[in-house]
Every structure is written in structure tokens, then in C-alpha cells.
Amino acid sequence: MITINFKKEIQKNVVQIFATNKPELKTNCLTPAQKKYVAQALKQCDFKAKEGEIVSVLGLEEKILVVGTGECPNRTAFEKIGGKLAGAIKDEKAAYYPLNAKNLSEEINAVATGLFLASFKFDKYLSKKKNEKELKDVTFVCEDIKGAKKQFEETKPILESVCFARALSAEPANHLTPLIFSKLIEKLADTGLEIEILSLKELKSKKFGMLLSVAQGSQNEPKVAIMKWMGNPKKKTFDIGFVGKGVTFDSGGISLKPGAGMGDMKQDMTGAAVVVSSMRSFALRKVKNNVIGIVGLVENMPSGSATRPGDIVTSLSGKTVEILNTDAEGRLVLGDCLWYMQQVYKVKKIIDLATLTGAVMAALGEEYAGLFSYDDKLVEEIISAGKSVDEEVWRLPMNKAYDKMIDSDIADMKNIGGRLAGGSTAACFLHRFIKEGTSWAHLDIAGVDKYEKSRPITPKGATGWGVRLLNELVK
């Protein structure tokens, strides 16, 4: 991972990076001869200082990069600039000279964020690592070292937790079974989190009927992990709770998925990865809130003991569910965990995250997560938090008509509502496990959990989407 430093003095023998929002470069950090040389190079390249535009000036003692910020750069722009620099520089060390702006610490923090997140890679299982030069060390040259360092140190636990979520999501299913996942969560007790893991025996005793029905076809036993952070110990209740879907591999069960692309189903636990990683960041940041996270960890497999289409199971709430499609399993896992959070911990504000439906992916692609809720205030809070960290959501409808689509003739409900409006009927299913008086929202992160192509601050693959949003929301 990239190392970020802060110094006052001019750096020597490193790549020097200068930010500017104008075609000409104004800085006191270059000699007159260097200024003249750089000015000529920028003129020859017809440099416009557009956002992310980079000119590399060679022929000097030190390599100089001039990066355009655009006329009115904001935090997101500077993050993308940092991400682009991470890919553009293949030397081991560099020094960044910020644009002479009012909010210097904010600019530095945003560029450092982009550099940090863009430098993530998952090469754990490569027997031979790619022998590529890469940016390893960046020093930000500024007067207010204390302020810049303080702001980045507050942000760093979030960035590390985004990368933690990416790494979890990238793990193959044979290396991240429910048991292995639960052991990793137990280790987070070192951060100050209170951890409790519910075993198969306990889940049966407590009657997690829907979650157990998903897990019963697999040889890997299910787990439920409960993580608590009491940032305000004087207060005994929780300010907010997060629930994550942790299906470590989803074959579809008896309703078997097509073979093409099934390997991606190792990532059907991303909701849990985001919740776990967010709880980790809350503890490392020592937030002043009381927060609880619950993740249901299961594997959905076909076998002689697997749940069959047509089976009826009894949920933790006591409501019965007709299973018409065993590939609509995530809502079963979430439903029991949502009920448990309310029943045992009396949480009144809950958000769940899950790679729940292909319908939301078809509707929103990789650009937005689907947001479902009846609470307008909570919706606005989530939308605002998402915009501020460039993890955007789009509200999709829920109503009585969609809810009626999951009524069953022989049970309290069925686990699918038919071919149409799959995202909305799945959300309505979850809402049936929300008690009156609970403020709840569901985030369907199918699509945003993985990018098929690299983006400025997100390499191709698992994104860790949601960790920054939840941190902003809690803040």
C-alpha cells in the first residue's frame, strides 16, 4: 500500500508534481531556468489545465509532472486526480505541490485519498508477482503539515477499511467459508469492537428458520456475527444498526444458476464485507456513536439436504415463507438478521446492504445502488451522504401493489414476486420483517459492488462501495 508523508521543504531526486487550474504554472518551488523550461513544454503541448490533464516534462535533473485540476476543482475532482496520478507515475517516490488554494488540507486529503484507493491490488494468489514499477511513496509539500496530517490520519482508517472490504470480496469461496469469515471478524476485537458469533447450534436454538433453510444444502455451517461499538458508553441504546448479506457462495441452490458467470457468486457476501469493514473503521476512528452490525454468513449449495422449491419455512419472527425459488436466498438471510437486531437489541434505525437482485443491476448498472425505504428523512440522509463521497444511490419504489405480489396462497408470504419489479418486491419482502416504529432502508448494491473496468480511484474488480457512505452517514 502507498505511503503518504508530509513535509515543508522541497523534495529532491523525486518526481515533482505540480497542480494548477491555469495553463501556466505559478510556483516558487522551481528555479527561473526550470520555470522557463516548463512553460515552453506546456505551451508546446497546448496544456489547458483540464481536470486530470497531465503533462510530463523531461530533460531536467528531476522529472516534473504538471496536472490540471479544472477551473473549479472540488473534492471529487481532486480524488480522481490522485487516482490518475497513481496510474501515471511508475517511479517509487514523488512529491506533490498543491494548488495555491484556500482549503489546502482538503485538497491534500482528497488527492491522498485518490492515490491510496487507486493503488489497491489483490495479488494474494499469484505465485509470481508482476514485476512492475509502481508509486510507493508520496510526500505532500505544504506549510500546514500538522493540519494536513491530522485530516489524512482521520480519513486513513476509512480508506484502509475500503481496501479491507475489497480484499474480502475478492477472496475465493474456498478461502472464505462462513467459518473462515467469522474467524476474521473475531480478530477485529483487537480494534475495540465487541464481537459475538452465533454457531449452528445457537441459530437452531434461536430459530433462525429462514437463514438455516439457505444453509442446509452446504457442508459449511452457517454463522451470524454481531459487532458492537459503544462510542457513547453512557448511552445504552444504539444510534444505528447495519445488516449485511454474507452469502459466501451462491450457486442458486436447487434453482441452480447458469454456469456462465457463476464464479462471480463468490462475491455475494459483499454486503457483509461492507458492514464488517465499516464497523472496523468506526472502531479505529473511535466514533462517538453507538453502532451495531449483524451479518448472516451462509453458503447456498444444491445437495440432497438442500431446501426445495415449494418448501415452507418458519422465520425467526414466526411468519411462514413459501420458497418458490432457492436463488432468492439473500432476503431470507437478511429477514432473520433484521428481526434479531430489533427483537434483541431494540435498534430503531437500520440500514441493510446486499447484492440482492439482478433487477436492480439491470435498472441502474454500475452507477447507482438501489435505495428502498418508506422513511423520507432517512432517504434524504443516505442520498446526501452518498453524494458527498461519490457513492450515489437512486431511490426506487415500494408500495402496497408490490407488497401484494409476494402474498402466498398457502403461507404468510412467498420469497419471490414474479418476473417483474424484482428489486421492489424483494424490498417489500424485507419490509415485512421491520417492526412498526423502526426507521429502515434497504440498499441493493448489486452492480456497484464490482466494476468490470477500472475507474480513477477504483481498480477493476471489487469496489468496497458503501464503506465511505456509511462512515459519512454515521459522521
How far is it, in rounded angstroms, from Cα 432 to Cα 213?
18
Q: Which of 80, 331, 414, 432 is catalytic?
A: 331
How far is it, in rounded angstroms, from Cα 26 to Cα 7?
20
> Which residues, 6 or more positions from 112, have their beta carbon under 8 angstroms from its beta carbon?
4, 82, 138, 140, 152, 155
Q: Which of 257, 348, 349, 395 is catalytic?
A: 257
> Which residues, 6 or more positions from 44, have their beta carbon under 8 angstroms from its beta carbon?
none
257 counts as catalytic: yes
> Which residues, 6 or more positions from 422, have their beta carbon under 8 angstroms from its beta carbon?
357, 358, 359, 360, 416
CA distances 439 to 125, 268, 326, 431, 471, Å, are 42, 25, 29, 11, 18
Strand positions, DSSP E, 254-377: 290-300, 312-314, 320-322, 349-354, 369-372
How far is it, in rounded angstroms, from Cα 333 to Cα 418?
20
CA distances 151 to 6, 103, 113, 338, Å, are 12, 12, 11, 35
Give the DSSP per-residue string, 193-240. -EEEEE-HHHHHHHT-HHHHHHHTTSSSPPEEEEEEEESSTT--S-SE
Residue 328, SS3 per DSSP = coil
Give the DSSP per-residue string, 391-417. --EEE----HHHHHTT--SSSSEES--
Q: Which of 438, 432, 407, 425 is nearest to 370 (CA)?
A: 425
Active site positions, annotated: 257, 331
